[in-house]
Amino acid sequence: MVAIIKTSTSLRRPFHYNENKVNESVAELILAQNYPMKNAEQATDLRLKYLLKLASLNSRTSVNAVHISLNFAPGEDFEKGKLQKIVNEYMRGIGFENQPYLVYKHTDAGHPHLHIVTTNIELVGRRIPLHNIGKLRSEPTRKAIEKQFGLVPAESQKQGLFIAKPVAISRLDYGKSETKRAIGNVLQHVLKNYKFTSLPELNAVLNQYRIVADRGREESRVFKNRGLVYRVLDDQGNKVGVPIKASSFYFKATLNSIESRFQTNELERKKQLKTIRSAIDLTLMKMPGRSLDEVIKSLEKQGIVTIKRENQEGRLYGITFVDHRTKCVFNGSALGKNYSAKGLMDRIGTQSEKCGVRPGSLTMTRSQLEDKQVSQTSIIMKEIGQTKQALNASRGLLETVVSPDETYSYLPFEWRKKRRKKKKKVTK
């Protein structure tokens, strides 16, 4: 079992997140503990109001919401009664046994997991300290529960197995569900997890769920006032239905809030540049003589969706990559010249010529294609080696001048004593 504790300044956010899952029939409220009213499990408003009332007892504490997820190993799908006992034991171990808390069982991921929503403000207005709660309280409690209930220890599993996976959001169909709630679920998932640096990059992800973040025309009042609305798209990509204002959501989805993420996302996604470049390079290397559409299909199997931008004549002028593995969005030009639309077409055309095939045609046999692939790989590796030699040669003189000489000869300890400073003679 793995316990993940998240704290925030908003009780409404984790509460509505779990309640929306219940409304979508992918979660179930299995426990409402320490509530004064008997019908807390039936009254949604009362459950939230009581938590907010407690939080308001301490106005000096801004972080008053606690959201915990307990993740079990695949196959550990226990009955409701056992899950309630596990949660109660865990909350006692971290010092929240007297706090009101809600327990939701989620069924939308590959492994069983629970979500717990509570507050760290006690009935007397005192704050339960949260500093280092994971290391000092949660971890010892988790290990004790694993032994007590015979759970699979987290340490014996592969790293990342228990990390709660994002909800598999189905594509939106306008008119088949409550539009605003459905858009809100998608937005929360995308804004929280994906790294994008522009509104078009955000739309590259949202469009896959038939949603678009729309600023309107430049002469419109929405655009001039820096407004933002969200629209549902039909199968042909046309906007349908009533636009929903970004400010109407209870979480931050306005243009200013989205743009405030760009700088941080830019730094975060730089860590994944090599990963996506390597995936594209290897795919091109393995598929010499293939068309761009075939390369795109191969990348999609690896979790990288490629969005082509074409003009009215059908000419390709831009390309965007959405890497669902690393949750990063890149314009092709941001990856480098060779990964732009023109760069990819040039590389595919060059590979086709080296393989003796016209771009877009596949007239070679399988054995011929494999032989050409091996020869193409050797050519590329040879070019890489020559490039490295040239770079090393050009850097050699500079490194010789700038780099300090390093010596690794042994020096006896006795010789390493500091010399005594001579005392200055004072003349009378």
pLDDT digits (tens, 9 = 90+) for 341-386: 888 888 887 655 555 544 444 344 444 545 555 555 555 555 556 5
As given in the structure block, the two tokens for residue 18 are 């779990």
Whole-Å CA distances, 200 to 217, 331, 379, 422: 15, 9, 37, 71
Region 103-121: mean pLDDT is: 86
Q: For residue 216, which of 206, 208, 226, 207 has the smallest C-alpha distance? A: 226
Distance of CA 171 to the CA centre of its chain: 19
pLDDT digits (tens, 9 = 90+) for 57-111: 998 999 999 999 998 887 788 899 999 999 999 999 999 999 999 999 988 765 6
- 423 HSE (CA, 13 A, CB side): 3
> 27 and 104 in contact (C-beta within 8 Å)?
yes
Higher pLDDT, 312 or 268: 268
Nearest CA to 167 among 18, 3, 44?
18
Give the pLDDT mean for 133-153.
91
Specify the higher pLDDT residue, 132 or 365.
132
- The position carrying tokens 């996604």 is 269
Where residue 396 falls among pLDDT bands split at 50, 70, 90?
very low
Give the separation between CA 199 and CA 214, rounded to whole angstroms: 9
Residue 136: its pLDDT value, please? Answer: 92
User: Does residue 400 carry a pLDDT above 70?
Assistant: no
Average pLDDT over residues 211-232: 91
7 has a pLDDT exceeding 50: yes
Q: Confidence band (pLDDT; 50, 70, 90) for 2?
A: confident
236 pLDDT tier (thresholds 50, 70, 90) = confident
Q: How confident is the model at residue 164 (pLDDT cuts 50, 70, 90)?
A: very low
pLDDT at 401 (0 to 100) = 32
pLDDT band at 410 (very low <50, low <70, confident <90, very high): very low
